[in-house]
A and B are shown apart, each in its own frame.
Chain A
Amino acid sequence: MDIAIKDGKIVKKVNESNAKIIDASGLTVMAGGVDIHSHIAGSEVNLGRMIRPDDHVKDVVKKTALTRSGTGYSIPSTYVTGYRYSKMGYTTVMNPSMAAMKAKHAHEELNDIPLIDKASFTLLGDWWFALENIAKGDLEECARLIAWMIRGTRSYAIKIVNPGGLESWGFGRNVHSLDDEVPNFCLTPRDIITGMAKVNTMLNMPHTIHLHTNNLGVPGNYKTTIDTMRALESVYQGDKPIGHITHIQFSSFAGDSWAHFKSGAEEIANYLNAHNHMTVDIGQVTFADTTTMTADGPFEFALYELGGHNKWVNSDVETEASGGIIPFHFKKKNAVNAIQWSIGLELSLMIKDPWKWFMTTDHPNGGPFFHYPRVFAWLYSRKAREATLKKCNKKAQKKSLLPTLDREYTLYELAIVTRAGTAKALGLKNKGHLGVGAEADVSIYNINPETTDIAQTYKPVRKAFGNAAYTIKDGEIVVKDAEIVATPPGRTMWLDVQTKEPCRIDEEMKRKFKEYWTIEFDNYPVTDHYIKVPEKITIKASV
């Protein structure tokens, strides 16, 4: 089978006499990888970079005639991020956590990440304007305000992190269940989640709400996670998923304390197998010295309180969000860490439909994104899983369900959980596949699908996934034999959500704005200046 590319798109055929021909026979060809959740840019990410010189010094990247210098490990510098994604055959990455007030920063950084298309999700779950309108029951006005915010921050989706918890954290508190009241706002996390899911539907957003659950990182939290999914059943209209729970591994803990910590993967997987209104990504732990970072400020504080962490960053953002950073070394010999690793894989193997879950490490939280090939190997090779499990903490080995799970992913299934499924969940119609009309983002790996038993020879296959034979971005060869050969900038996708009538921006609103933020209304939105190569996607909302 041949794939024809012209003007950056996949077409039926081209005139072969003057076309450049790549002979991919005996190789694996996939659409360019689409990452649904990876913290690659923004204020939080950069603060993480800034506090970890110890992390950069062990991984330095030299300047070449074509590429810029930089540093790596858990949070690589911007250029290096682009190069490393491209080397793995990834061409699109979602930056899933952007405080609206700091959106300009995120976009400035994204401009410096070459070779991949990208988009950001704005943190809106604890935004005062949204909370007030949800509490009032005025979802339509809430939707209009969110449309304004999505446009104003040049964003792609609604991100909700520990709904209600971030606002509570303003005074050092947190919420612990879906029905705790958020102080000062007369509503509960349940109201926020269902309200936002309805708003998301009203706005016809291409992606669902992107949700980081309450109680993340707390033993026994799988119950909260199931409650959250149950709460969303009422919003489901029976056609397409209406919620995405991100890095669900961190929300699938059972046991009542760290001492009795165990996996809640089975319960979560059973629920997902029986319901169709949710998608999830994993947030797989890869055993690395990494840097955890999230908008969930109270979670990072709890992690800091657990002890042994020398660096703790908290960064509250007025009116909108919070944030926290802690360097963290996931170790095989640590029972909890090893169980977390097992939970991620148990979920991946027990959720039957690969269109419902996607592969992420929640970069850099579970491990840096360039560890993906390791995760692939654990998915397609039982042997690889056993090799790692053998080195894990004995208690964790006993508790792990992995020895009972025989499933081994095929290359097709792997393509679903790394590009086709993610593109579908994100509503990116022209990505994640190689059909006519798709963007010509192609990755070619040096794996012969006909002659290789990938499960048995998992090491060379893993290596091939980390070193693409070719990566093609918009029809241009950018990686050849794992070397960067071109550095196009990549686009930033954003939604222009058009509501039937715009949200009310009158004097009252401007006054309120001045009260709520320390930036003037006129200076708040992200302007075109901040996006080097924009791809505006216009959406017609139904409000």
Chain B
Amino acid sequence: MAEQKLRVTLITGRTIDQGVGKELGKGSDKYFDSVAVCFLDPSDIKKLGLKSGMNVQVTSKYGSVVVKAKKYTHGAIPGMIFMPCGLWANIICSADTDSIGMPTFRGFTVEVEPAPNKPVLTLDELLKQEFGK
């Protein structure tokens, strides 16, 4: 029986694809494909009843974003999800800095749920939606 929602710890960081994508241009397809994603452990994918390439909605106290789900292939990360750093991940990050300037980019709890019918917004769509520009 697939679960509706999972509470997991979000980790953000670099991937080589994100690096290549950002250098090709923030508007490039490569950037979109490599950054508007979320990597999950195979066991969590199973729990959520996801199929590869299906969209998921990731929600934190600070925001919510729809990205494509992918399987994490390097090792087991049950209870964690990984998102490449970029606009999509930052929608759900907090600007709280513990008074030293550094926002909370990783290591906090988020909820992830399947979103088969919601689209992943492009960079421009997301900027428009969040900032009106």
Are chains A and B touching directly in their complex (CB below 8 angstroms)? no
Q: Which residues of A contact B (CB under 8 A)?
A: none
